[in-house]
């Protein structure tokens, strides 16, 4: 999906200190504040895809990102944006690595992230899914084994009655639903 992406934060307010105990947390905050390229209302930290920031040697910062989906086309853009943000803050060398283990789960989205998604018109994922690894999420109504009881609410009018239109929507991580009350279609962040 091609989406307009906002300019990454090229000019952060404060540069991370060149050394000392606050350097890594400051770098982590900076990397985490980069907006998600497809859902720019939330940051990489809020989405839960920033796994670690380390400095294996002075001047070289290593960042680990994990994809929401293996084929997530935004991952390369995320890596570039993180690299740009850190370079702009004075880091000489940035390496961004992709890690798959443990797999990202929608439970990794922060409370703030969920709130922003809902505000943006995307129904946030319901908590408490699949965190413990490869348990198949069977979605057939007849065999709901995923243990989800909470309803997916319409992000526009908050009505609880919504229906599934398509399991796959504008991005790999969302499904398309429609509100039975206000009839508005909306994206829902699929639980994984």
Partner 1 sequence: MTATAPPALALLPPADDALVLSHRLGEWAGHAPVLEEEVALANIALDLLGQARALYAELRDELGSEDEIAYLREERAFRNCQLVEQPNEDFAHTIVRQLYFSAYQLPLHHRLASCVPVAAKAAQETAYHLDHAEQWTLRLGDGTEESHARMQRAADALWRYTGELFEPIEGLDIDWHGLRAEWSGTLTDVFGRAGLTVPDGPGTGAWSAGAGRQGLHTEPFGRMLAEMQHLHRSHPGASW
- Site residues, partner 1 (CB under 8 A): 67, 69-73, 98-105, 130, 133-134, 136-140, 165-170, 172, 176, 190, 192
Residue 26 or 66: the one with the smaller Cβ distance to partner 1 is: 66
Residue 21 or 100: the one with the smaller Cβ distance to partner 1 is: 100
Handedness of CA 72, 67, 121, 166 (dihedral sign): positive
Distance from C-alpha of 100 to C-alpha of 103, rounded to nearest angstrom: 5
Shortest Å distance, C-beta 51 to partner 1: 12
Shortest Å distance, C-beta 71 to partner 1: 3
Please check whether residue 98 is in contact with residue 65, taking contact to mean a CB–CB distance below 8 angstroms: yes
Q: Which of 187, 152, 153, 151 is nearest to 169 (CA)?
A: 187
Residue 26 or 104: the one with the smaller Cβ distance to partner 1 is: 104
Shortest Å distance, C-beta 101 to partner 1: 4
Shortest Å distance, C-beta 138 to partner 1: 7
Residue 114 or 190: the one with the smaller Cβ distance to partner 1 is: 190
Shortest Å distance, C-beta 127 to partner 1: 16
Residue 62 or 107: the one with the smaller Cβ distance to partner 1 is: 107
Shortest Å distance, C-beta 129 to partner 1: 10
Token pair listed for 127: 């908590």
Residue 168 or 183: the one with the smaller Cβ distance to partner 1 is: 168
């Amino acid at each position: 999906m091609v989406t307009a992406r906002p300019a990454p934060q090229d000019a952060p307010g404060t540069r991370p200190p060149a050394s000392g105990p606050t350097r890594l947390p400051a770098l982590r905050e900076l990397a985490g504040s980069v907006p998600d390229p497809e859902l720019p209302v939330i940051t990489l930290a809020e989405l839960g895809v920033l796994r670690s920031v380390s400095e294996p040697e002075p001047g070289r910062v290593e960042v680990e990102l994990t994809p929401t989906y293996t084929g997530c086309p935004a991952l390369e853009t995320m890596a570039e944006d993180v690299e740009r943000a850190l370079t702009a803050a004075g880091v000489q060398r940035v390496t961004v690595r992709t890690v798959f283990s443990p797999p990202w789960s929608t439970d990794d989205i922060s409370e703030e992230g969920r709130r922003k998604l809902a505000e943006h018109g995307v129904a946030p994922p319901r908590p408490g899914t699949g965190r413990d690894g490869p348990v198949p999420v069977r979605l057939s109504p007849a065999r709901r084994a995923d243990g989800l009881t909470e309803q997916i609410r319409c992000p526009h009018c908050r009505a609880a009655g919504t229906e599934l239109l398509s399991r796959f929507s504008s991005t790999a991580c969302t499904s398309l639903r429609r509100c039975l009350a206000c009839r508005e279609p909306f994206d829902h962040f699929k639980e994984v």
